[in-house]
Amino acid sequence: MKSIEIVMLAVKDQQRAKEFYLKLGYKVIVEQPMGQGEIWLQMGLPGDHTTISLGSFSAVICETDDIQKTISGLKAKGIDVGKVDDTPWGKFAWLKDPDGNSTCLRQAK
């Protein structure tokens, strides 16, 4: 893993949360339908690489250049990683820490 790309924040009202973060100085990076009536809303501070996503659950998305290599390394350490999902936005694989917090590995297309 090379960096934290996105911190996903669970919010009750996506538009109300968006307005709050806009007041804090965040800018909308992506706001688009992602199916099943949900909207992907990603925001960031000017000049910062790490962004936030406002949605229905919490997670941390980490960038990797080679998702298979990263997964192999994690499995060698005894960490369970789910299957790789290949999507138009990249390859994703999910894992959970001992307390159930989600981390996602993402390899860009």
How many domains are contained in the chain? 2
Tens of pLDDT along 15-53? 999 999 999 999 999 999 988 889 999 999 999 999 999
- Asked if 1 and 53 sit in the same domain, the reply is yes
- Asked if 90 and 40 sit in the same domain, the reply is no
- Asked if 8 and 36 sit in the same domain, the reply is yes
Domain containing residue 93: CATH number: 3.10.180.10
Q: Which of 42, 57, 72 is the last residue of a domain?
A: 57
Range of the domain at 85: 64-109
The pLDDT score that the predictor gives to residue 62 is 96
Torsion of CA 52, 54, 55, 56, to 10 degrees: 90
H-helix or E-strand spanning residue 38:
strand 38-44
